[in-house]
Amino acid sequence: MLANLDRNVGIAAELLNLYGLVIQLLVRGETTLVYYNPSGLNCNWNVLWHRNLTTHPQIVWQRSYAYPDLYDQFNGELMVLACLSAGSSGTGQLKNLATSLNHLRTLRVLIEVAGFSRESLAIQVLSFCLSQSMLHVELYFRNYNHSLILYTYRAFPKFELIKRAISGNERVAIFVNKLQNLEGHRLRVMPDLSPPNTFCYRDAMGKDVVVGYLWDFMADFASRINASLEVVRPNWPAGVASESSYMLQYTSKGLIDVGLTTTLITKRNLWAIHQYTYPIFISSWCTMLPVERPLLTPDLFERILSPALAAVLVPITLATWLVVKHLSWLFPLKNSRLACIVRRLLAMLLLTTCSAQLLSLLISPPYHQRITSFDDLLHEDLKILGMRSEFYYFDGAFRARYAGIFHLIDDPDQLYDHRNHFNTSWAYTMAYTKWMVIKTQQRHFSKPVFRWSKDLCFVDFMPTSIVVAPNSIYWQSLKNFSFTANQAGLINHWIEKSFYDMVKAGKMRIKDYSELVVLKPLEIGDLQLIWRICGAAIAVAIGIFLVELFYFYANEFLNSL
């Protein structure tokens, strides 16, 4: 596009060089150009706009008041070519621009100021840009004397004006990322002190230490951009409102930069969407169920001596007896040695098969039927222990149908006590983040006590973010870092690591809460089915004997008449 420019339009060579730098940025992708000229000045960009920048989406803005409607109209890449008046009026025009596009802190702004080059005016305009968190700004003056000077600034550790001359011999970088190195700048962060997100403890040296997976996330992010962390401790009353609601107030007032608490982006809090980071991870809210227990020993005999097996064996035995007893062609084999051996072999095969299967079931007993849905819980004695306040977040139809599977309480400490001590009398509602901590703890058990059921989820898609200042300059950097951390598996690693941090802080301990399986000899009570079968057989024999006695004495009585 630069080759198509007519050099007879009166544009200086240095401006053409600057235009070439801008073109290199535009050809990288689809960028919307915003031409901002509220005073209708005759800027150099007017010529370039009409002749060479017609292939990009464009917005022409030639009014002196702000456009609040632009606030939510863009989520893509923007580049602003601004033509401002000199003096305080130009600062006011720049304020209207910042107000209208204040949530797009990654946009690039090239400013042309009417008038002669003045370093003091450049400092005034760029200082205002820094106060509005507009980092990617380049400025030059339309009327320059000898060479075109491009002004920008260094934001960290403090404001510093940077001047560069535009010439054809030297290569100039524009719109340099100012967040690559913060030179030790302090990021003010507020932990929620809610494990496993963040929590505090005093180490062996008597020093207060903040840990947790969100703290690890933020500490690693700060090290990437060469920043340091300053802890601002929360001082709000506990249990009155959520941590995120308080942190939104702190960040909006400029008291902190980042609030380290998990926040779900829902329709209820879309009004504060520009104070939430891009989701750090996708969580879910499901049910933690006790691992199915093995069948009791008396129930194992039912797998061998089941009614179905008896219903099959009895007809086969009767049919074999009838065939052997009444078919004449089998009489020669009736009392032969071969017939006796076959009968005994079949009996031995049946007994050894049953005993082998019984031994295998006794050594490694099968488990009760697995719970795979909320409907299964309706037919079980197991209940979900949950908070009454959480229950009313569920859908009304769900509550009406499955209210019977819940045992609701109002005391969270009671819930935590049962859950932290692995009380298997209940199932529990559980966020995936906390389940990962419990899963890590169960690695130290001889066998797992609870399992995570994805089939019994209340919310299976929960984008989780942290709180930042309104339209924070760190939003894009945090987004890129969260992508990298997730792809590298660091988020899961930090969540699992938080369990060991809690052990170190004394909030959890490594202990085996599972029950050891001890093999015991069979007892009389384990043979309940055998006794019932024997009792039933004896009762049938006595009944047959009584029938025979009745038949005999009945005939005797009738014959005596």
| pLDDT at 51 exceeding the cut of 70 | no
Q: Please tell me the distance from the alpha carbon of residue 193 to that of residue 199, in angstroms, as a whole number.
A: 4
Span 427-455, average pLDDT? 92
Span 471-498, average pLDDT? 92
Residue 2: what pLDDT? Answer: 44
- Taking only the tens place, the pLDDT of each residue in 385-432 is 999 888 888 888 999 999 999 999 988 889 988 988 899 999 999 999
| pLDDT at 209 exceeding the cut of 80 | yes
Q: Both 159 and 301 in a single domain?
A: no
Span 537-549, average pLDDT? 88
Span 268-295, average pLDDT? 85
In a domain, residue 228? The reply is no
Q: Both 156 and 304 in a single domain?
A: no
Beta strand 426-431 with 383-387 is parallel
Residue 53: what pLDDT? Answer: 59
Task: Answer positive or negative: Cα dihedral of 202, 204, 210, 211.
Answer: negative
Q: What average pLDDT is seen over the chain?
A: 82
Residue 4: what pLDDT? Answer: 46
Domains in the chain: how many in total?
3
Residue 3: which pLDDT band, with cuts at 50, 70 and 90? very low
- Among 426, 425, 421, 391, residue whose Cα is nearest residue 408: 391
In a domain, residue 36? The reply is yes
Question: Residue 466 in contact with residue 259, Cβ under 8 Å?
Answer: yes
Q: Please tell me the distance from the alpha carbon of residue 415 to that of residue 392, in angstroms, as a whole number.
A: 17
372 SS3 class: coil
Domain boundary among 165, 184, 207: 165
User: Residue 406's beta-bridge partner residues?
Assistant: 384
209 SS3 class: strand
Domain boundary among 333, 363, 393: 363
Integer CA distances (angstroms), 421 to 288, 385, 425, 441, 448, in order: 14, 14, 11, 11, 13
Q: Please tell me the distance from the alpha carbon of residue 271 to that of residue 268, in angstroms, as a whole number.
A: 8
- Taking only the tens place, the pLDDT of each residue in 364-377 is 777 778 888 999 99
Span 74-84, average pLDDT? 80
| pLDDT at 87 exceeding the cut of 70 | yes
CATH number at residue 158: 3.40.50
Residue 37: what pLDDT? Answer: 87
Residue 1: which pLDDT band, with cuts at 50, 70 and 90? very low
| pLDDT at 89 exceeding the cut of 60 | yes
Q: Please tell me the distance from the alpha carbon of residue 127 to that of residue 92, in angstroms, as a whole number.
A: 13
In a domain, residue 550? The reply is yes
- Among 71, 158, 161, 178, residue whose Cα is nearest residue 118: 161
Span 58-62, average pLDDT? 82
| pLDDT at 349 exceeding the cut of 60 | yes
Greater model confidence, 443 or 18:
443
Greater model confidence, 551 or 145:
551
In a domain, residue 448? The reply is no
The CA-based angle 78-55-82, given to 5 degrees, is 40
- Taking only the tens place, the pLDDT of each residue in 97-143 is 888 887 777 788 888 888 777 888 899 999 998 888 888 999 988 87
In a domain, residue 214? The reply is no
In a domain, residue 480? The reply is no
Domain boundary among 118, 146, 165: 165
Q: Both 305 and 159 in a single domain?
A: no
Structure token pair of residue 370: 């697995």
* pLDDT-wise least confident of 49-53, 234-238, 448-452: 49-53
In a domain, residue 352? The reply is yes
DSSP annotation of 164 reads: E
- Which residue range is the domain that position 136 belongs to? 2-165
Angle formed by the axes of helices 528-559 and 297-304, nearest 10°: 60
In a domain, residue 188? The reply is no
| pLDDT at 42 exceeding the cut of 60 | yes
- Taking only the tens place, the pLDDT of each residue in 293-344 is 877 777 777 777 666 666 777 777 777 666 666 655 555 555 566 666 766 7
Greater model confidence, 174 or 502:
502
Span 455-478, average pLDDT? 89
Task: Answer positive or negative: Cα dihedral of 335, 336, 338, 340.
Answer: positive
Structure token pair of residue 71: 């606030």
